[in-house]
């Protein structure tokens, strides 16, 4: 199984268009130890010919342009409208995970996989009617029920299993009158396991997660590869930098550090390869050689970058 990180940053990317925090300023100035990153997305394939996207970033066109394996192959096709992208899996309804669907409106067949909650969100917004429903099929994921990834009768040779993780409803769907969860319901945030039955290889992709609970701990124990929410290093870093009035918890993201952070939560799980994705521009681990980067690397973690590849 082939895995390619198309985008490793959180919503807004890095640098963010309107942000002049220390990280964004220095990456614009080209200072060493910092690299630009586009917004969160992965591409997965069994053989490199038919690909599934895990989330569809607003930066998707740019990401595809930088990944030749996602471009149409020259010649040998019955249609000039073709793409090796055969499926899109959505882990939530956040703008940085669904806006890229609008770049897939050009008339080719693929399948969208998401919970009924997220599919309802897409159906309620008429802008997504630009997707040709005669070509683009939607499949509702049922947590805990593995299914084969397919498009237009083509089996991608991979299975997909969704599972609930602690999270929060998308920002634009928040209802302040709905109490502490702002209207969060089951199906708003999921993680996914993508497996290759022929080899037994599997990866877990969890770009948004508010806490590592017992169910998630049991599921991930001993996994070969987990790509996990790395939005913030510390819960109040955006407040401390004057970027927001919200903590990570308020935004539905676990922090890396602290007694309840992801470094501590994963310490005894025996996960063979742990990779942070979806880093916010405020996160100090974006700086090579920073104290925080050294801490996560010494704990056995990697920090994803655009173009990073894995083979299972």
pLDDT, residue 79, reads: 65
pLDDT, residue 216, reads: 97
pLDDT at 255 over 60: yes
Number of domain units in the chain: 1
Q: Which of 6, 134, 114, 15 is nearest to 70 (CA)?
A: 6
How far is the C-alpha of 281 from the C-alpha of 310, rounded, in Å?
24
164-218: pLDDT as tens digits: 999 998 888 888 888 888 888 888 999 999 999 999 999 999 999 999 999 999 9
Domain containing 248 — which CATH number? Answer: 3.60.15.10
| 3-class DSSP state of 179 | coil
Average pLDDT over residues 213-227: 97
8-12, 78-82, 133-137, 172-176: which has the minimum mean pLDDT? 78-82
Q: Residues for the chain: how many in total?
A: 312
Average pLDDT over residues 221-239: 96
How far are the Cα atoms of 55, 140, 196, 269 from residue 160, in angstroms, in the given order? 14, 12, 9, 22
pLDDT, residue 77, reads: 55
Q: Which residue has the tokens 């290093």?
A: 233
Residue-number span of the structural domain to which 307 is assigned: 2-311
Looking only at the bridges linking them, the beta strands covering 41-45 and 51-54 are: antiparallel
Alpha helices in 66-200 (DSSP H): 95-98, 116-124
Looking only at the bridges linking them, the beta strands covering 147-151 and 41-45 are: unpaired
Q: Record the pTM.
A: 0.95
pLDDT, residue 171, reads: 84
pLDDT, residue 78, reads: 57
Q: Which of 287, 254, 147, 193 is nearest to 3 (CA)?
A: 193
């Amino acid at each position: 199984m082939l895995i390619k990180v198309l985008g490793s940053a959180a919503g807004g990317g890095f640098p963010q268009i309107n942000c002049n925090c220390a990280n964004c300023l220095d990456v614009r100035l080209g200072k060493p130890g910092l690299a630009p990153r586009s917004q969160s997305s992965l591409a997965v394939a069994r053989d490199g010919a038919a690909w599934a996207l895990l989330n569809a970033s607003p930066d998707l066109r740019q990401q595809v342009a930088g990944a030749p394996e996602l471009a149409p192959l020259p010649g040998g096709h019955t249609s000039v409208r073709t793409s090796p992208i055969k499926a899109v899996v959505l882990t939530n309804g956040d703008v940085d995970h669904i806006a890229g669907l609008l770049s897939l409106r050009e008339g080719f067949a693929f399948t969208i996989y998401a919970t009924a909650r997220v599919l309802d969100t897409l159906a309620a917004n008429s802008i997504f009617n630009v997707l040709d429903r005669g070509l683009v099929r939607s499949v509702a994921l049922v947590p805990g029920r593995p299914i084969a990834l397919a498009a237009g009768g083509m089996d991608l040779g991979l299975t997909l299993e969704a599972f609930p993780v602690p999270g929060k409803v998308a920002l634009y769907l928040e209802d302040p009158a709905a109490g502490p969860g702002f209207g969060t319901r089951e199906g708003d945030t999921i993680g996914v396991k993508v497996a290759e039955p022929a080899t037994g290889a599997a990866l877990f992709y969890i770009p948004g997660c508010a806490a590592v609970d017992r169910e998630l701990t049991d599921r991930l124990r001993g996994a070969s590869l987990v790509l996990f929410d790395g939005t913030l290093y510390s819960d109040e870093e955006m407040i401390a930098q004057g970027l927001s009035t919200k903590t990570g918890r308020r935004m539905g993201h676990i922090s890396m550090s602290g007694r309840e952070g992801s470094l501590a939560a994963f310490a005894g799980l025996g996960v063979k390869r742990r990779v942070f994705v979806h880093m916010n521009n405020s996160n100090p681990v974006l700086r090579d050689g920073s104290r925080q980067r050294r801490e996560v690397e010494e704990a056995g973690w990697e920090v994803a970058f655009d173009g990073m590849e894995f083979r299972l």
